[in-house]
């Protein structure tokens, strides 16, 4: 298929991006004052113990040499060893990646489930009461701090109504999904407000636009006008918005992970930064970057799939 050709060479463009990210993270985390060895040893550290640990993890080497080793490792598909957890960073990440991915995925699905009908409702009643209500909710809903919202949801749905577990991540697929409902809802509530606004605007424009007029002039029922013409055309700009937001989400789930005790990457990252676990910070940053890149890549493919005009 001619129009999907960019799939082949697009990844090449991302190599410099990933390289840039590795370099920046590397330098950045080492600029942070504080010493991983000292964090590891805790309050009872002594200088000799610190020196021993530094030597063990190669932290006493010049920084450029450390970076060189890092790249060398990376080329072999390794990311070094965690100072705090004493295992391979890549292995550590594989143990933590699933909840974050699942959370992001569920949140996105949920927010689409919320946003598409509401935006449709609002757009079709443009100016009517339904529109006003949806607009009000979506404008108001944007400002809720997620951690606050999360606690309120827990207190209401889990403690009062006992509908969902307070926190945690389940054992099997069904159980996991069940555990993910509230966390995803927290994210979806704010993400969907953004989507609703974008979709609603696009839909209203399309509903008033030439396309809809032409369809109506052909005597198409309003349902066909809306679902066959207006909706697909309004989705195009939203896909990109969604991609940017997913990219933002991937690295930003930490608050929700932490409130809901999901054993994901966000928590891993925050703890790694606080304990100066350099290798883990680098590794997680790389994984996040790859994920973001991947999401944009998928968004490109989706856009091309929806919209034949787009050629990369």
Return the DSSP state at 161. Answer: S
Q: Cα–Cα distance between 151 and 191 in angstroms, integer?
A: 17
Using CA atoms, how far residue 112 sits from 18, 89, 169, 173, in Å, is: 30, 34, 23, 21
- Residue 299 binds to another protein (criterion: CB under 8 A): no
Using CA atoms, how far residue 310 sits from 239, 285, 298, 300, in Å, is: 13, 31, 14, 9
Q: Cα–Cα distance between 267 and 275 in angstroms, integer?
A: 12
Residues 111-170 that bind another protein (CB under 8 A): 135, 139-140, 142-148, 151, 154-155, 158-159, 162, 165-169
Q: How far is the CB of 164 from another protein (least distance, A)?
A: 10
Q: For residues 112 and 237, which CB has a smaller minimum distance to another protein in the complex? A: 237
- Residue 15 binds to another protein (criterion: CB under 8 A): no
Using CA atoms, how far residue 73 sits from 62, 68, 130, 178, 293, in Å, is: 17, 9, 57, 39, 22
Of the residues 121, 181, 244, 301, which one makes contact with another protein according to CB under 8 A: 244
Residues 44-73 that bind another protein (CB under 8 A): 44-49, 52-53, 55-56
Residues comprising the chain, all counted: 312
- Residue 202 binds to another protein (criterion: CB under 8 A): yes
Contact pattern for another protein over residues 81 through 110, marking x by CB under 8 A: ---xxxx----x--xx--x-----------
* Ordered DSSP codes for 109-127: HHHHHHHHHHHHHHHHTTT
Residues 167-196 that bind another protein (CB under 8 A): 167-169
Of the residues 268, 279, 299, 304, which one makes contact with another protein according to CB under 8 A: 268
Of the residues 110, 111, 275, 278, which one makes contact with another protein according to CB under 8 A: 275
């Amino acid at each position: 298929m001619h129009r999907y050709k960019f799939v082949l060479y697009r990844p090449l463009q991302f190599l410099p991006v990933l390289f840039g990210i590795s370099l920046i993270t590397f330098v950045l985390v080492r600029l942070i004052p504080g010493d991983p060895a000292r964090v590891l040893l805790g309050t009872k550290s002594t200088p000799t113990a610190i020196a021993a640990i530094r030597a063990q993890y190669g932290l006493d080497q010049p920084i450029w040499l450390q970076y060189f080793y890092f790249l060398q490792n990376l080329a072999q598909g390794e990311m070094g060893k965690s100072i705090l957890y004493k295992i391979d960073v890549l292995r550590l990440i594989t143990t933590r990646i699933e909840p974050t991915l699942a959370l992001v995925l569920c949140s996105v699905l949920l927010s689409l489930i919320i946003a598409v009908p509401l935006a449709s409702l609002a757009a079709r009643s443009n100016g009517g009461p339904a529109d006003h209500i949806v607009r009000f909710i979506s404008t108001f809903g944007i400002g809720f701090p997620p951690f606050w919202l999360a606690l309120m949801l827990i207190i209401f749905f889990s403690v009062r109504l006992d509908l969902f577990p307070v926190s945690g991540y389940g054992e099997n697929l069904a159980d996991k999904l069940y555990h993910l409902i509230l966390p995803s809802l927290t994210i979806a509530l704010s993400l969907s407000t953004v989507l609703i606004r974008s979709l609603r605007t696009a839909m209203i424009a399309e509903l008033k636009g030439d396309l809809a007029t032409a369809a109506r002039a052909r005597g198409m029922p309003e349902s066909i006008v809306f679902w066959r013409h207006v909706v697909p055309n309004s989705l195009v700009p939203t896909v990109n918005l969604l991609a940017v937001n997913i990219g933002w989400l991937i690295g930003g789930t930490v608050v929700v992970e932490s409130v809901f005790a999901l054993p994901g990457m966000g928590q891993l990252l925050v703890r790694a930064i606080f304990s100066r676990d350099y290798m883990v910070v680098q590794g997680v940053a790389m994984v996040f970057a790859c994920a973001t890149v991947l999401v944009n890549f998928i968004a490109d493919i989706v856009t091309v799939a929806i919209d034949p005009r787009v050629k990369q």
